[in-house]
A and B are shown apart, each in its own frame.
Chain A
């Protein structure tokens, strides 16, 4: 079993829809949670960085962490065609050894 599980999709939604992306994990030591966006043939781009449980909002993006369920989510409101990309969740156990464990990524297409 992988430490981080993520549905690879693909996921297609119409423009303006609310998108929900999710990851589950098995290592209860994970405390730092990130979401990256990766366009085709580009490197991952850091979108959200959260610590422990709770919500964090940044514009149209909201990250949620539920440590009790070992489940994290990224919500995208009013999705745009420019949001079409692969979204990777990533997490690490502690700041002193910030080795990230990534999910496989979910490929999202927003249809105009």
Chain B
């Protein structure tokens, strides 16, 4: 069974530039999560989707971050414009349903210069 796929794996951009991350969850997983992981810290939830509906985006900085999950499968997370403090690893996870264990992708490592 294929795991959670994320791309790109690495991204280097200059501040104020836009950037987008893509995630394809495990087949059949209805719940999709985006997390932010800073160095030496655990992941922190940005947004959670149930199918195509964003059911918890309270931690998403909406002034610069946006996300979508069209057709309830793959998802895109965007930052515009990026700031130096956005440098981190962006992880995508999926689960069969809200009560099941979450399975993570390899993450996208973002460096903002």
- Chain A's interface size range is 20 to 34
Residues of A1-55 contacting chain B, CB below 8 A: 4, 6, 8, 32, 34, 36, 41-46, 49
A-B residue pairs in contact (CB < 8 Å), sample of 6: A6-B42, A44-B43, A46-B102, A98-B48, A98-B100, A105-B40
From known contacts A41-B109, A43-B4, infer whether A8 and B98 are also in contact, taking CB-CB under 8 Å.
Answer: no
The reply to whether B42 and A102 form a contact with Cβ atoms under 8 Å apart is yes
Binary contact track B41-58/A, C-beta < 8 Å → 1, others 0:
111110010000000100
Which of A64-72, A75-83, A89-97 contacts its partner?
A: A89-97
In whole angstroms, what is the CA distance A53 to B98 when docked? Answer: 21
* In the complex, B105 has a CB within 8 A of chain A: yes
Report chain B residues within 8 Å CB of A49.
Answer: 101
Known contacts: A41-B109, A44-B43. The answer to whether A100 contacts B102 by CB under 8 A is yes
A94, chain B: closest CB distance, angstroms: 8
**In the complex the two chains form, is A102's CB within 8 Å of B44's CB?**
yes
Interface residues of A (CB under 8 A from B): 4, 6, 8, 32, 34, 36, 41-46, 49, 88, 90, 95-100, 102-105
Q: How far is the CB of A11 from chain B (nearest CB, A)?
A: 15
Size class of the contact patch on chain B: 20 to 34
Task: Contact check, A100 vs B104: say whether CB atoms are below 8 A apart.
Answer: no
Q: Are A95 and B98 in contact (CB under 8 A)?
A: yes
| Residues from 86 to 107 in B contacting A, C-beta threshold 8 Å | 91, 93, 95, 97-107
- The answer for the CA separation of A23 and B100 in the assembled complex, in Å, is 21
CA distance A56 to B106 in the complex (A): 27
**Shortest beta-carbon distance from A61 to chain B in Å:** 14
Top 4 closest A-B pairs, CB basis?
Answer: A102-B42, A95-B99, A43-B104, A98-B98
User: Who on chain A is nearest to B59 by CB?
Assistant: A99
* Residue from A42, A88, A97, A98 within 8 A of B42 (CB atoms): A88
Which residues of A have CB within 8 Å of B48?
Answer: 98-99
A43–B102 CB distance below 8 A: no
